[in-house]
Amino acid sequence: MKPLPHKYTAQLSGTSDGYATAAVTGLPELRVAAPADFDGPGDAWSPEHLLMAAVESCLLLTLRSVAKASKLEFESLEVSGEGTLDRKDGATRFTEIILHARLKLAAGADRAKAIRVLEKSEKACPISASLSTPIHLEPEIVFA
């Protein structure tokens, strides 16, 4: 890993209605729009979906590092997240995120260690750590 601090940039362009385009140099562009719940078209990435994907992907990428350091080999991780957007303290915000994490291990692996590593990964994820929203991890361990 490169020494901290790291800086990240992104650009967005759009008009007064319709779709916008999110871009990062060297990466494919993303078409973004309001979700259907906010009268958007519902066929493009929304900020809400991007936040959920950021939390989920951060869990996997952090798990890779924590598992390696902990000498825990895993076959795969499937994460489905459910974020609740509601009105709280006068603002519309995510009030809770639940991560359903299905971690697949080789037969005979240590289940208790896997849960500890998964929980440590969720807490160490810099995206989750940057949010004030409570994040609840619901782990499921399966064996090959």
* Whole-number Å distance between alpha carbons of 74 and 129: 24
Q: What is the pLDDT of residue 91?
A: 96
Confidence of residue 118 (pLDDT cuts 50, 70, 90): very high
Q: What is the pLDDT of residue 31?
A: 98
Are residues 12 and 22 in contact, defined by beta-carbon separation less than 8 angstroms? yes
pLDDT digits (tens, 9 = 90+) for 25-83: 999 999 999 999 999 999 999 999 999 999 999 999 999 999 999 999 999 999 999 99
HEC readout, 67-107: HHHHCCCCCEEEEEEEEEEEEECCEEEEEEEEEEEEEEECC
**Average pLDDT for the chain:** 97
Max intra-chain CA distance, the chain: 57
Percent of the chain with pLDDT over 70: 100
The correct answer on CATH 3.30.300.20 for the domain covering 47-143 is yes
- pTM higher than the cut 0.85: yes
pLDDT digits (tens, 9 = 90+) for 46-56: 999 999 999 99
